[in-house]
Every structure is written in structure tokens, then in C-alpha cells.
Chains A and B, each alone.
Chain A
């Protein structure tokens, strides 16, 4: 158990809809990262938050947004969903925003767009 909790585990929805994925980081971790994994590929970085503030953006679409709340949990919002958004979405956390610290991952949310 990594200590990172993601809900829900599965989401099935239709094109054009909006969903929210939730992540609770490990106790004490200030950094939260979101990654997308499509079709057994490697994980692609979407966005990072550190102590409530956006720190870095990766390949995140404009239809997607995220935030980190004062209790450090984070939400990833996906809107105007398309078939190609079907993927596994992982959240990871680390203690600080510095080098030489591994990120610890949740079990992911599997999003299926019908």
C-alpha cells in the first residue's frame, strides 16, 4: 500500500461529459503529480501541484484542469470528453519538490468513454 488513494477506481461515461478524479496523497507529502497511461504505454505527465500551487505542466489538454486543496488532496477535472481520453489516470505524491525523492503512486482511475 503506497498510501496514495485515488477514487473512483473505474469511471464509465459518454463523450461530451465531464468527470472529476480525486487523489489523496501520502500523509505529509506536499507534491502531487497527475499522469495518464494509454493502451499499455508509458505514463505521460499531465500536471504537478506543490503545496496548493501549480508547479509544472506537461502534455495536458486545455479541456483538462486540476487543483490542490488546502488539505493537500487534488482533483483532476476532464471535460468535453472524447473517445481518446479513455485511459488510466494515476496520481503520485512526494514529500517535497526536490531531487532524489521517489514518487509514490496510487492505483489509478480507469476512465472509459463510450
Chain B
């Protein structure tokens, strides 16, 4: 039972345009959400997070939106750069109990020059 789903395995965008990566979750006890970026042969790198008390968090070119009623979050990258090409993982954690992250299966983003 996948509690965090990234339904798009891959996404290709042109340099300078917006990249939108999507993530859905099923567990209503999740209250903290994160995005990680992963390059080959490296570990996941923390990008941005959002608490369930907010619906938007912004950090430079990266913005995460949370729609709690739809159990959906998205990561917007504007403008996209070739160096953004990587696998992006959505992750979630519950308010109580286990503090470990539940990850989606990832979306491979390719930014074309």
C-alpha cells in the first residue's frame, strides 16, 4: 500500500520554463512534507519542506504547494535550469509515532537546454 505516490515517472521541460512535480498521499496523519533531489551516485539532498499548517512555502526558485483537502502537494521550479535535471522524491512524516519518512517512487526531471 503506497501511502505516498508520484504518478509521473518522468518529466521533460525546456530551460527557463516552469517545472511542476506532483505528489499524492493517502495517510491523513501526515503533517510534514518534504522534497528531495537526487543525482546519480549521490544521496538525496533536502530541497524544501512544508508543514500541514501552511499551504505554500517558497525558497528561491522552489515553491511547494500543499492542498490538504485533496491530499496533494506539488513542487514548482521557476525558472528551470539544466542543473535541475535529477530525480525528485516527495516524502511525508506523521505527527506522532514513527518519525521516519515515507517516500514516493520519484520523478525524473530532465531540463532541456
Contact = CB atoms under 8 A, between A and B. Distances in A.
Given A42-B106, A99-B31, A99-B32, A104 B100 contact: no
Size class of B's contact patch?
20 to 34
Given A99-B31, A99-B32, A100-B32, A2 B103 contact: no
Nearest to B51: A100
B105 interface: yes
A56 B102 CA distance: 13
A58 B100 contact: yes
A32 to B, nearest CB: 11
Interface in B26-65: 31-32, 34, 36, 41-46, 49, 51
A21 to B, nearest CB: 13
Nearest to B97: A56
A98 B94 CA distance: 10
Interface in A67-111: 90, 92, 94, 97-100, 102-108
Interface of A: 2, 4, 6, 31, 33, 35, 40-45, 48, 55-56, 58, 90, 92, 94, 97-100, 102-108
Interface of B: 4, 31-32, 34, 36, 41-46, 49, 51, 89, 93, 95, 97-106
